[in-house]
Amino acid sequence: MSQFVSSSPPIAPAPRGIGRTISEGLGQGVAIFGLEARKLAHDPSELLFRAVQPALWLIIFGGVFSSIHVIPTAPYTYLQFLTPGILAQSVLFISIFYGIASIRERELGIITKFLVSPTPRVILVGARGLSASMRGLSQALIVILLALGLGVALNFDPLALAGVVVAIILGAALFSTLSMIIASIVKTQERFLGIGQLLTMPLFFASSAIYPLSVMPAWLRPIALANPLTYLVDALRTLMLPGETGLYPLWVDFAVLLGVTVLLTVVESRLYPRMAQ
Amino acid sequence: MSSSSSSPILRTQELTRRFGEFTAVDRLTLSVEPGEIFGLIGPNGAGKTTTIKMLTTLLPPTSGEATIAGYDLRRDPAEVRRSIGYVPQLISADAQVSGYENLWVFARLYSIPRAEREVRIRDALEFMGLSGVADELVKNYSGGMIRRLEIAQALMHRPRVLFLDEPTVGLDPLARDAVWEQIERLRGHYGTSLMLTTHYMEEADRLCERIAVMHRGKVVALGTPAALKASLGAPNATLQDVFTKYAGEEVEMAGGGYREAGRTRRVAVRLE
Ligand SMILES: Nc1ncnc2c1ncn2[C@@H]1O[C@H](COP(=O)(O)OP(=O)(O)OP(=O)(O)O)[C@@H](O)[C@H]1O
Ligand SMILES: [Mg+2]
């Protein structure tokens, strides 16, 4: 196409149809996604190393609390109840530090190159959020294999599995975009790591990941209900435990996850360009 | 607007950027002709990078105007982005993937049609002398190779104006020579206009057709290297003398401080 040839000076903006805009946007999204995939392919070590913590939670915490029966999870065993919670936790843990990549790219000049390209900001941010789901899915796979190894009975209906995949993609996009927002605000590694540590445990404990809402103290319950992780856990439990109906209908869980992800993406699209100033 | 071949490809009018009370770029007015290599020189903190950040749409100007390739910087940033290439002062290639993959990503971000993508990537690698290391991870590249990769990346979409912020900082003399050669060939080959900043007077003298000397955000002298040298009135005056005359006083004070030193030096560190 001729707009790439430098000998034809563009004087008035060439008309860009909506179809062209969409197809270019998709191609740009594929570029960001592909870059992330190639990075993971060159160095997958982080995926394994981030899975250690959830594995320990499932094996040790899960093992101990199953045997002492203090958390009421009938009709499910505690390990059954816990598995979707740890799955959500593993997605949270690998996503919440995702923003460190933006900080590294800011300290170098990489971010400026992305921002100088004609890629719309919302695609730069949205595609990064979605590409974080590759990391989330890898964690999910490890946790599910581990749970199967521990003999946990889960629902393997194909439709339910597809739902699990979608929930994890949304959850990973949500928390990695949140992480990018934090990175855009604090801008330095030290502060980012501090805030990441500070945020992880409250998000995890103020959710229904390891105990049902019903056993929480009354003051914690509203906090848990405002915590997106609760909705990820709820969706995963509904999908993975045979016969489980969940706190909320599935569509509510998915609507909350999607809505929050879209909101965070819009916010980060505004903040991200400031990283290059 | 006239589209005759002699009209400038880049024009700024009173372009200004303030950070709080501090004016980093002060009513900058200049123009760059098609195919010209235009140099910005000046001490640390003079406002060279800030100027380039405004012209590349990264930083909104506080006031003033600019047009690039016929597009207004404020009204049409998307079209400006399609018309320019940028090699930042800091490292901008991704060390975690290969040289080829770095180019692939940008070929897609610039929507280079599928049919042309491979050819453009191979050409860019070839042009910059990187074909042999295309599949190596960039973290194993030398500083000179990284710089050439970054220039290749900024060239694939055939920008009308290419911005190079200190393209040879931290490079050894051989690598620097190689980059100079590519820059000269590139202009001959693609007719690209270049705006570059540098602290090496020899580099400015050799490459640039016109040079603006910046000091505290203002252009204090502008002209061809020969004219600038002649303006001193002394025989055998060098560009170094020009620099010292227009921007030399208080260089120590104006040196930008820790933040600039850190930024510039980080580029050098990557070579290790
Ligand atoms: N984001 C910012 N916030 C506040 N001040 C800034 C910012 N960016 C630049 N400055 C200030 O603006 C001035 C000009 O900086 P700039 O980076 O444009 O200088 P430069 O000419 O590129 O210097 P160098 O040769 O060291 O690269 C400096 O004093 C710098 O501290
Ligand atoms: Mg600079």
CB contact under 8 A, A31 and B104: yes
To test the contact with chain A by mutation, choose from B3, B7, B108, B193 the residue with the greatest count of A C-beta atoms within 10 A, namely B108
Position A68 confidence tier, pLDDT thresholds 50, 70, 90: confident
Ligand located closest to B50 CA: 1
Q: Does residue B211 lie in a domain region?
A: yes
Q: Is the CB of B264 under 6 A from ligand 1?
A: yes
Shortest-distance atom of ligand 1 to CA B51: 18
Q: Is the CB of B50 under 6 A from ligand 1?
A: yes
Query: Around Cβ A163, how many Cβ atoms within 10 Å?
Result: 20
CATH number of the CATH domain containing B105: 3.40.50.300
The answer on pLDDT for A9 being more than 70 is no
How many Å apart are CA B212 and CA A55, to the nearest integer? 61
> Is residue A41 less than 8 Å (CB to CB) from chain B?
no
Give burial (CB, 10 Å; 0-12/13-18/19+) of A125. buried
Which ipTM value was assigned to this complex?
0.88
**Domain chopping of chain A, boundaries:** 44-65+73-210+219-276
Mutate to test the pocket of ligand 1, among B214, B260, B264, B266 (most ligand atoms within 8 A of CB): B260
Long-range CB contacts for residues A37-45, cutoff 8 Å, separation at least 24: A37/A131, A37/A134, A38/B97, A38/B98, A38/B101, A39/B94, A39/B96, A39/B97, A40/A134, A40/A135, A40/A138, A42/B96, A42/B97, A42/B137, A43/B96, A44/A138
Closest residue by Cα to residue B152 from B217, B85, B94, B205 = B85
Q: Does residue B1 lie in a domain region?
A: no
Q: Does residue B4 lie in a domain region?
A: no
- Distances A272 to A64, A66, A105 between C-alpha atoms, Å: 44, 45, 12
The predicted-structure confidence for B185-209, as pLDDT tens digits, reads as follows 888 888 899 999 999 999 999 999 9
CA dihedral A163, A165, A169, A175 (to 10 degrees): 90
Of the partner residues B89, B108, B192, the one whose CB lies closest to the CB of residue A109: B89
Spell out, as residue ranges, where chain B has pLDDT lower than 50: 1-4, 251, 253-255, 268-272
Can you give the residue range of the structural domain that contains B151?
Answer: 10-271
The residues in A 19-38 lying below 8 A from B, measured between CB atoms, are 24, 27-28, 30-32, 34-35, 38
How many Å apart are CA A271 and CA A91, to the nearest integer? 24
Q: DSSP code of B59?
A: S
Cα–ligand 2 centroid distance for B157 (angstroms):
25
Q: For ligand 1, atom 28, which residue shows the shortest CA distance?
A: B45
pLDDT of residue B258: 58
Buried b (16+ CB within 10 A) or exposed e, B37-76: bbbbbbbbbbbbbbbbbbbbbbbebeebebbbbbbebeeb
Whole-model pTM? 0.89
How many Å apart are CA B212 and CA B38, to the nearest integer? 8
Per DSSP, helices labelled H in chain A are 18-42, 45-50, 52-56, 62-68, 78-95, 100-107, 110-116, 121-149, 158-186, 189-205, 220-225, 228-240, 250-271
> Is residue A122 less than 8 Å (CB to CB) from chain B?
no
Residue A196 tokens read as 């990441």
Position A15 confidence tier, pLDDT thresholds 50, 70, 90: low
Position A122 confidence tier, pLDDT thresholds 50, 70, 90: very high
Q: For ligand 1, atom 30, which residue shows the shortest CA distance?
A: B45
CB contact under 8 A, B71 and A10: yes
The predicted-structure confidence for A201-252, as pLDDT tens digits, reads as follows 999 999 999 999 989 999 999 999 999 999 999 999 999 999 999 999 999 9
Q: Does residue B257 lie in a domain region?
A: yes
A154, A83 contact by CB (below 8 A):
yes
Residue B254 tokens read as 């104006």
The number of angstroms, rounded, from the C-alpha of B49 to the middle of its chain's C-alpha atoms is: 9
CB contact under 8 A, A6 and B82: no
Which residues of A are less than 8 Å from B190 in CB distance? 6
Residues facing B65 on adjacent strands: B13
Q: Is the CB of B47 under 6 A from ligand 1?
A: yes
Give burial (CB, 10 Å; 0-12/13-18/19+) of B144. buried
